[in-house]
Amino acid sequence: MNITKKVTLSFLVMALVLFSISAVLLQSPEKKAPVINGVVIPKAKSLNQFSMIDHRNNIFNNQQLEGRWHLVSYGYTHCPDICPNTLNILAGVVEKLESENKADDLKVLFYSIDPKRDTVSHLAEYIPFFHKDFIGLTYVDEMQESAQAFEQSLGMISVLTPIENSDVNPVYESYTVSHGVMLYLLNPQGNLQAVFKPEKGEGGVQHFTVQKIYADYLAVRNYFG
Q: Which helix (H) or strand (E) holds 71?
A: strand 69-75
Confidence at residue 22, expressed as pLDDT on a 0 to 100 scale: 44
Q: Are residues 88 and 151 in the same domain?
A: yes
Q: Is the dihedral of CA 102, 212, 111, 80 positive or negative?
A: negative
Q: Are residues 155 and 76 in the same domain?
A: yes
Question: Domain range spanning residue 178?
Answer: 33-224
Q: Are residues 69 and 8 in the same domain?
A: no
179 is in an annotated binding site: yes
Confidence at residue 162, expressed as pLDDT on a 0 to 100 scale: 83
User: How does pLDDT run across 155-181, given as a tens digit for each residue?
Assistant: 999 888 888 765 555 555 678 898 889
pLDDT < 50: residue spans in the chain: 2-28
Q: Are residues 13 and 69 in the same domain?
A: no
Confidence at residue 167, expressed as pLDDT on a 0 to 100 scale: 59
Q: Are residues 193 and 135 in the same domain?
A: yes
Q: Are residues 123 and 136 in the same domain?
A: yes
83 is in an annotated binding site: yes
Confidence at residue 159, expressed as pLDDT on a 0 to 100 scale: 87
CATH number assigned to the domain comprising residue 191: 3.40.30.10
Contact in structure between 51 and 138 (CB atoms under 8 Å): no
Domain count, the chain: 2
Confidence at residue 5, expressed as pLDDT on a 0 to 100 scale: 41
Q: Are residues 19 and 42 in the same domain?
A: no
Confidence at residue 114, expressed as pLDDT on a 0 to 100 scale: 94
pTM for the full predicted model:
0.82
207 is in an annotated binding site: no
Q: Are residues 19 and 124 in the same domain?
A: no
Q: Are residues 155 and 84 in the same domain?
A: yes
